[in-house]
């Protein structure tokens, strides 16, 4: 799939017809629920259902891939498909229980677009760092025709066998300023008129932003292509993508991530910003949130297509963020007009966040 400007804006009317005006999102890891002991697994699912009933989110982002080594890439999945080994066909049964036993309106499947780890026997091209470093997720190179076909088939298999209201693309739709130097990528860059070998080793190159914008467009158009394939089976499927906060706050960051606000609102129904100040090492959390709101409103004035996804864990210290702090953040976001709010992860084992302390702030229409 080559860079092109022919992709049209997503069907706004479709979103208007079926969207939830104020999404309240619980982002759930199936890895937390899965257990080899099926009795324990059922207990886990029941515990999740009870938490959902207590908190009453109207939307669930549900992990459909397995990440047992927690490296952010998927080498196993929870649904039947042609390419990735299945840990257990667990995704759809959990969706059914959520839909049948709770008031949840929408369930989105959380899936990577590129971050698939297939068996070595496949001999596939992966995203390569020009300096040979191992940075970011392990990702299939999006420039390989073979990889594109595999990704198409993974998503086709998924959408034909699983009933969901939306898909949340993982935060793996990204290439750094040093990526991708695989053979297929270098051939594509040459078609675009860039010397990829030079640009990928020189972040200060004067053509670096133009190069990054070309990569951004390519990635988002490939995502749009996969979305259209799924729309053939489910026309009203909603599409969200996770975006790094820095992309919202610093225009120069497109060079580092190959992501942009403008392109995101063009190609996806929702922009799910990872509004996570601990992850970004922000010193003033309140200002961090206010800056994100200000920047999002430049592209989405009513914030009707912007999701603020909050963190419940400080991954730098591996400690939980107090529920009181999460509740106060939600109140702040609502005060400044944020409509769609979620958090990740929900930890039913430690019962974090504390639903009794979060429920009032999390509810719709309450400041």
Q: What pLDDT is recorded for position 264? A: 98
Determine, yes or no, domain membership for 52.
yes
Task: Give residues with Cβ within 8 angstroms of 89, minimum separation 6.
Answer: 78, 79, 80
Determine, yes or no, domain membership for 136.
no
SS3 314: strand
Residue range(s) defining the domain that contains residue 304: 12-111+144-174+217-362
pLDDT in tens, 207-264: 999 999 999 999 999 999 999 999 999 999 999 999 999 999 998 999 999 999 999 9
Q: Which residue ranges in the chain fall short of pLDDT 70? A: 1-17, 366-367
- Domain count of the chain? 1
Determine, yes or no, domain membership for 276.
yes
**Which token pair is 257?**
């991530």
Q: 94-103 burial string, b = 16+ CB within 10 Å, else e?
A: bbebbbeebe
Determine, yes or no, domain membership for 209.
no
CB atoms within 10 A of CB 354: 15
Distance in angstroms (rounded) separating the CA atoms of residues 307 and 23: 8
- CATH (domain of 159): 3.20.20.80
Q: What is the value of pTM for the model shown?
A: 0.93
Determine, yes or no, domain membership for 152.
yes
Distance in angstroms (rounded) separating the CA atoms of residues 342 and 20: 13
| DSSP labels, 191-225 | HHT--HHHHTT-TT-TTHHHHHHHHHHHHHHHHHH
Burial classification of residue 15, based on how many CB atoms lie within 10 Å of its CB (0-12 exposed, 13-18 middle, 19 or more buried): middle
Distance in angstroms (rounded) separating the CA atoms of residues 347 and 67: 16
**Which token pair is 147?**
């990889």
Q: Which contiguous run of DSSP H or E holds residue 12?
A: helix 12-18
Q: What pLDDT is recorded for position 7? A: 36
Which residue pairs from 41-44 have beta carbons closer than 8 angstroms and sit at least 24 positions apart in sequence? 44/348
Determine, yes or no, domain membership for 184.
no
SS3 347: strand
CA-based nearest residue to 208, from 194, 222, 188: 194
Determine, yes or no, domain membership for 294.
yes
Q: What pLDDT is recorded for position 175? A: 97
Determine, yes or no, domain membership for 137.
no
β partners of residue 166: 108, 238
**Which token pair is 228?**
């259209």
Q: What pLDDT is recorded for position 5? A: 38
Output the furthest CA–CA distance in the chain (Å, rounded): 60
């Amino acid at each position: 799939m080559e860079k092109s400007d022919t992709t049209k804006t997503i069907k706004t009317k479709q979103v208007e017809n079926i969207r939830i005006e104020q999404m309240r999102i619980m982002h759930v890891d199936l890895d937390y629920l899965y257990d080899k002991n099926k009795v324990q697994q059922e207990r886990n699912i029941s515990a999740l259902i009870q938490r959902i009933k207590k908190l009453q989110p109207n939307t669930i982002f549900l992990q459909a891939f397995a990440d047992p080594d927690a490296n952010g890439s998927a080498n196993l999945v929870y649904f039947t498909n042609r390419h990735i080994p299945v840990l257990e066909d667990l995704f759809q049964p959990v969706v059914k229980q959520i839909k049948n036993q709770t008031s949840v309106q929408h369930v989105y499947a959380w899936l990577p677009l590129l971050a698939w780890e297939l068996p070595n026997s496949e001999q596939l091209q992966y995203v390569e760092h020009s300096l040979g470093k191992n940075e970011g997720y392990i990702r299939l190179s999006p420039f390989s025709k073979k990889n594109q076909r595999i990704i198409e088939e993974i998503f086709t298999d998924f959408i034909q066998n699983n009933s969901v209201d939306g898909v949340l693309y993982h935060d793996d739709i990204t290439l750094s300023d040093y990526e991708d130097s695989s053979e297929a990528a270098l051939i594509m860059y040459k078609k675009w008129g860039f010397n990829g070998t030079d640009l990928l080793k020189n972040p200060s190159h004067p053509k670096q932003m133009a190069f990054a914008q070309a990569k951004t467009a390519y990635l988002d158009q490939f995502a749009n292509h996969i979305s259209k394939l799924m729309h053939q089976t489910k026309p009203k499927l909603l599409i969200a993508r996770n975006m790094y906060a820095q992309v919202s706050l610093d225009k120069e960051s497109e060079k580092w991530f190959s992501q942009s606000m403008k392109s995101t609102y063009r190609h996806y129904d929702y922009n799910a910003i990872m509004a996570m100040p601990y992850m970004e090492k922000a010193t003033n959390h309140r200002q961090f949130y206010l800056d994100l709101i200000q920047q999002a409103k430049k592209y989405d004035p009513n914030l009707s297509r912007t999701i603020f996804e909050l963190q419940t864990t400080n991954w730098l210290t591996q400690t939980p963020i107090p529920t009181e702090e999460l509740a106060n953040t939600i109140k702040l976001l609502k005060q400044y007009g944020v409509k769609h709010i979620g958090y990740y992860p929900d930890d039913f084992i430690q019962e974090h966040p504390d639903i009794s302390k979060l429920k009032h702030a999390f509810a719709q229409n309450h400041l």
